[in-house]
Amino acid sequence: MRRTLVTNIGEFFTGELGRPTAPVATLLIEDGRIAALDPPGDAGCDRVIDARGAAVLPGLVDGHIHPVFGEWTPTQDTIGWIRNYLHGGSTTMVSAGELHTPGLDYGQLTPDLVTALAEVARATTGRVRWSGVKVHAGTCLLVPGMTEAHFDRLATAGAVLAKFIFFPLDERRDEAMRYSALLRERGIRAKVHTGGVSRSGSSRVCGFETCAWLQPDIAAHVSGGPIPMPDEDLDRLVDETGFALEVCSSGNYRSTIRVVRRLMQQGRLDRLTLGTDTPGGTGVIPRGMLRNVLFLAGVCEMSPGEAVAVATGNTARAHGLDVGVLTEGAPADLVIAGPVKGSAGTTLADAIAHGDLPGISMVLIDGEPVVRHRSGQTPPPETPAAFTDGGGCPFC
């Protein structure tokens, strides 16, 4: 049993939309989970992290990534991207499909091939904690002709998500509905590509009408990935449906403002989830999730606490994951961060409201420090957290 105490917390973000911040000054972690908020003074521990007045927030949950094999992505000829995203505060990521696998012919996808591809991704990229990050890979690219046995294979592999992207939804509506039911029976969520054609050149155009009958668990990148659906479709999606709506870094900023403000006006931020939709044509963006938070707060004028909750608890919940909230019993996946020297913000919330990038000093996953001294991707915070016994090795 290993116990870690995080002390002198200046700001505490819960990841819960209903109560996004709380006056918590100390956090006790035991066996990788949050054991207590503000535990009694005699709580013994093996290790103390002094937050030195900084903010503690849940690790960010990137709900839309495109992994290929481990830390390698051929889309931008990059290796080590998961570690770089970790240093941008992301501790959990969910694959929206392994469609960038080199040589994959989107015109020749068969039920066996897409199922096998998801199984391989789950058994490779999804098996290992790359740089410590929880990567949920093995998101099947659904195609016509799949049988119940294919869905059994996905469930056995441990898939959490499947994706309608190449599937001819409007031509094969009954089959798509049957797939949705088979997925739900197995606890696998369904996500649908929306908007115009993606970089693949083969994705189907999808707007309000299709989403309305399909009723996916999550409509992917509704403000564009990269091309958004028409404004009228976007408005109707907000007004007339109730499933999760995802916004990604790859989208159209104008559409993002439109959908986010409409959800805010209706008091339905619980439906909003975030992702980067990278690696891909938008690039490899280690600070992508942070930039999403800053856009929501700085441009869309969402409160910093709500913006963090959307990037953490909301996105995790939509994908059926137990991370993203800092409550007793939850996995201790968290980020310790503060304002960067020279920022307009005197607190992290203040900096985020201003649209200023936070400085990350530590990241913990399941209670274990995976970024121990400072982020390699953000400037340092003015007051970095430190191990009281000096265990914060500056070289890792």
Do residues 381 and 361 lie in contact, with contact meaning Cβ atoms separated by under 8 Å? yes
Residue closer to Zn ion, measured from CB, 64 or 372: 64
Other Cβ atoms less than 10 A from the Cβ of 102: the count is 8
Length of the chain: 396
Between 283 and 379, CB nearer to Zn ion: 283
What is the closest distance, in whole angstroms, from the C-beta atom of residue 339 to Zn ion in the complex?
Answer: 32
**Beta-carbon contacts of residue 168 (< 8 Å; ≥ 6 apart):** 144, 204
Task: For the CB of residue 360, give the shortest distance to Zn ion in the complex, in Å.
Answer: 25
Least Cβ distance, residue 89 to Zn ion (angstroms): 20
Report DSSP letters for 29-87, one per residue: EETTEEEEES--TT---SEEEE-TT-EEEEPEEEEEE--SBTTEETTTTEE-HHHHHHT
The neighbouring-strand residues paired with 189 are 161
Taking the C-alpha atoms of residue 345 and residue 339, their distance in angstroms, rounded to an integer, is: 6
With both helix axes pointing from N to C terminus, report the angle between 231-240 and 253-265 in degrees, rounded to the nearest 10.
30
Q: Report the C-alpha gap between 67 and 71 in whole angstroms.
A: 8
Taking the C-alpha atoms of residue 31 and residue 78, their distance in angstroms, rounded to an integer, is 34
CB 69 within 8 A of CB 136: no
- Cβ closer to Zn ion: 71 or 277? 277
- Residues 321, 315: Cα–Cα separation, whole Å: 9
Q: How far is CA 251 from the centre of its chain?
A: 15
CB-wise, 97 or 305, nearer to Zn ion?
Answer: 97
Both ends of the chain: CA-CA distance in Å? 24
Q: Which is nearer to Zn ion, 84 or 95 (CB)?
A: 95
Nearer to Zn ion (CB atom), residue 279 or residue 331: 279
Q: How near is the Cβ of 88 to Zn ion at its closest, in Å?
A: 18
In this complex, which beta carbon is closest to Zn ion, that of residue 34 or of residue 218? 218
Q: How far is the CB of 340 from Zn ion (least distance, A)?
A: 30
The single residue listed with the structure tokens 């054991």 is: 35
* Gyration radius of the chain over CA positions: 20
Q: Which is nearer to Zn ion, 59 or 275 (CB)?
A: 275
Decide: helix, strand or coil at residue 184.
Answer: helix
Q: Which amino acid is at 36?
A: A
Min dist CB 55 to Zn ion, Å, is 30
Residue whose CB is less far from Zn ion, 95 or 131: 95
User: In terms of DSSP bridges, do strands 3-7 and 33-37 run parallel, antiparallel, or are they unpaired?
Assistant: unpaired
Q: Give the nearest distance from C-beta 165 to Zn ion in angstroms.
A: 8
Minimum distance of Zn ion from residue 174's CB (angstroms): 26
Sites of contact with Zn ion (CB under 5 A) = 96, 277
Single out the residue of 143, 72, 144, 142 nearest to residue 101, CA to CA: 72
Name the minimum Å distance from CB 96 to Zn ion: 4
CB of 51 to Zn ion, least distance (A): 35
Nearer to Zn ion, 98 or 277 (CB): 277
